[in-house]
A and B are shown apart, each in its own frame.
Chain A
Amino acid sequence: MNIQTQIKRTAAEDALLQAFAERAEYLPGNTAVAEKRNAAVEVLKRGLPNRKVEAWHYTDLRRLLSSVPAFDLTAHAAPREPLLAGSAVLPVLNGVAGRAEVPEGISVASMAAKLTDGSLASLLGPDEADDTVSAINAAFAADGFAIDIPAGTALERPIELQNVQAGGQAHTRFAVRAGEGAKATIVERQTGEGDALVSSVSHLDVGDGAEILWLIIQEQPEGASHLGQINVRIGKDVKLTMFVMNAGGKLVRQELRLVAEGQGSEFRLRGVNLLSGQTHCEVTMVLDHVGPATVSTETIRNVVTDRAEGAFQGQIRVAREAQKTDAKMACNTLLLSDEGSFSAKPELEIFADDVACGHGATVTEIEADHLFYLMARGIDEKTARGLLVKAFVAEVIEELENEPVIEALEAKLDAWFAQHG
């Protein structure tokens, strides 16, 4: 028998439960959704995870989430210019779906409608007791978008799912289904102006033979807490590239949970974490290779300045049936400050016997040789350092091999370096 010691709730834990008590009756959802919400709150009542919970070892949420603001339903958020010119923007403003531009050939519904009719209730978590991001989101999520890209549809315009917070709390959900052979570029933009608590959970279902580029751009202001999660099912012969850029926020956790079900799929994850000030930022990936002959590569590049701290947890699990899996994971950090830190925790769990899996992690400073070479051509030290730091992360961006995307991301890099370099 388990004896649970009752510990005193933190201010943040109290505030979450209080907020639910106040908001519950206004949240959309049928009975199935309401049951899910109540189950999620039961998880929250047990308290936020601390570092003793393995999945949260590098992000002690109980300690780091020091306060939770109340909802601010009157606050106003305005849509932003999209990352990629010509995108169809689907904005969620202060937690409420705004007017969406719907590209031809796809269907879009508000998440509020999908919760009200209960058709997406099954996507609400949490799946496990330590799935806190899901739990917070399932309890409060009121809106977002559900998108269906029919089989064989190749979208020329990128779609931007734009989650803009305006302080208080914002809990958003996106669900995207890409049918067989569909092609699309999707930007998930996480931004805003307030010291908000944001949770954003996405589901992506990639049908057989589909080609998807999904970019998560997190650029919250320095007072905001951001809890992100994306759940992905990868079908057969899929080409999926995910790119994550973290360039803001006070407390950030971005979770990626992927299941490569079908045979012969290729998955790439490229991540860039630009950490400054007192940011705490973690990217956590769990990738299940279930189908045989799937290839995955994961490269994370981190730049750490000031007193920022970051972490990457990368877990690759290869099922017994997933023979001929080829998985390579790397996490490289450029540490520019003695007070900054970055932790990397790669994990391989392999049950198949014919696989090629590897991982590596490095922490470096700027190479003195490289700096000397650039300076010997008349480039002053500050500019030369800037070039080298940018080069370190630009390398993974260039791997995306898509000119407009590369240009847009490099512009984000330049903006960040101009502010923090």
Chain B
Amino acid sequence: MLEIKNLHARIAEDGTEILRGVDLKVKAGEVAAIMGPNGSGKSTLSYVLAGREDYEVTEGDILFNGESVLDMDPAERSAAGLFLAFQYPMEIPGVATMEFLKVAMNAQRKARGQEELKIPELMKRVRGAAEELDMDMSMLKRPLNVGFSGGEKKRAEILQMKLLEPALCVLDETDSGLDIDALKIVADGVNAMRSPDRAIVVITHYQRLLDYIVPDSVHVLYKGRVVKSGDKVLAQELEKSGYAGLVGEAA
């Protein structure tokens, strides 16, 4: 489903190279974890996948269902089925959360040739998804992410993911800032989305999240490259011995 080939990317503004030849394949139905120390390029990778303009791809390609997404803008990538759950979801004053959900869901439905959802059906879906995530509907009356706690923001991201039903979910440090109860709720939300025709990429610094979202494959990103791949055992080893050993191997 997702194939990243020799991906090089730099910060557009100052030309600093962050990704230095990332190779990664994720199949439909697979949950892949990307781990790595701070500064290894994890968040950059997620932004480049989503099409953020602050980064320039200088070499390589990103194939989604066999087609390059590099010429697509973020909206087109999203409509094609790619979803990024942000590490730091933006607060957008003045945009009501409900209104945003309505516009986003219908934009995607339109792009996929489906009919727009009527308000009652839309409300029903939102209410259902919010209940599963133990979210209060009153939160959704507020402006998007404004005044939400860290945990509420992460839940709101998962809520959007459930509602938009993407084919590829990329979760960027979704565990950061969550207490253990919130972590379980979020993990349950993600696990409920596991499906044979969907791929999930979990980006995380710590192994903790992977106790709840058990990955099929684990990849270690270091200095902008995938330096080691394995299964869930690799994540447990990293938890015990840290990144230091690996870093030595790679260097």
Interface residues of A (CB under 8 A from B): 368-370, 372-381, 383-384, 387-388, 390-395, 398
Contact A373 B79 (CB under 8 A): no
Contact A368 B90 (CB under 8 A): no
Contact A378 B79 (CB under 8 A): yes
Contact B89 A377 (CB under 8 A): no
Contact B93 A395 (CB under 8 A): yes
Contact B75 A384 (CB under 8 A): yes
What residues of chain A lie closer than 8 Å to B143, measured between beta carbons? 391
Contact B94 A391 (CB under 8 A): yes
Contact A378 B90 (CB under 8 A): no
Question: How far apart are B125's CB and chain A's nearest CB, in angstroms?
Answer: 15
Contact B75 A378 (CB under 8 A): yes
Q: B83, B95, B104, B111: which contacts A391 (Cβ < 8 A)?
A: B95
Q: How far is the CA of A388 from the CA of B89 in the complex (A)?
A: 16
Question: How far apart are B51's CB and chain A's nearest CB, in angstroms?
Answer: 8
Q: How far is the CA of A387 from the CA of B101 in the complex (A)?
A: 12
Residues B63-118 near A (CB distance < 8 A): 73-75, 77-79, 83-84, 86, 89-90, 92-95, 99-100, 103-104, 107-108, 111
A to B CB contacts below 8 Å, 29 in the list: A369-B90, A370-B92, A372-B50, A372-B52, A375-B73, A375-B74, A376-B50, A376-B74, A376-B75, A376-B77, A376-B84, A376-B86, A377-B107, A377-B160, A377-B164, A378-B75, A378-B107, A378-B108, A378-B111, A380-B107, A381-B75, A383-B107, A387-B99, A387-B100, A388-B92, A388-B94, A392-B94, A395-B93, A398-B94
Kindly report which residue of chain A lies nearest to residue B82, judged by CB atoms. A376
- Contact residues of A: prevailing secondary structure: helix
What residues of chain B lie closer than 8 Å to A394, measured between beta carbons? 94
Contact A370 B90 (CB under 8 A): yes
What residues of chain A lie closer than 8 Å to B95, measured between beta carbons? 374, 387-388, 391
Question: How far apart are B137's CB and chain A's nearest CB, in angstroms?
Answer: 18
3 smallest beta-carbon distances between A and B, as pairs: A391-B94, A378-B78, A375-B74
Assuming A378-B108, A390-B94, is B53 touching A372 (CB within 8 A)? yes
Assuming A378-B78, A379-B103, A387-B100, is B160 touching A373 (CB within 8 A)? no
Q: How far is the CA of A391 from the CA of B51 in the complex (A)?
A: 24
What residues of chain B lie closer than 8 Å to A374, measured between beta carbons? 92, 95, 100, 104
Contact B53 A377 (CB under 8 A): no
Contact B89 A375 (CB under 8 A): no
Q: A383, A391, A393, A398: which contacts B92 (Cβ < 8 A)?
A: A391
What residues of chain B lie closer than 8 Å to A379, measured between beta carbons? 75, 103-104, 107
Question: How far apart are B81's CB and chain A's nearest CB, in angstroms?
Answer: 9
What residues of chain A lie closer than 8 Å to B54, measured between beta carbons? 368
Q: How far is the CA of A391 from the CA of B100 in the complex (A)?
A: 11
Question: How far apart are A238's CB and chain B's nearest CB, in angstroms?
Answer: 29
Q: How far is the CA of A392 from the CA of B95 in the complex (A)?
A: 9
Assuming A391-B94, A391-B95, is B75 touching A373 (CB within 8 A)? no
Question: How far apart are A45's CB and chain B's nearest CB, in angstroms?
Answer: 48
Q: How far is the CA of A309 from the CA of B32 in the complex (A)?
A: 53
Kindly report which residue of chain A lies nearest to residue B52, judged by CB atoms. A372
Assuming A372-B74, A378-B164, is B103 touching A383 (CB within 8 A)? yes
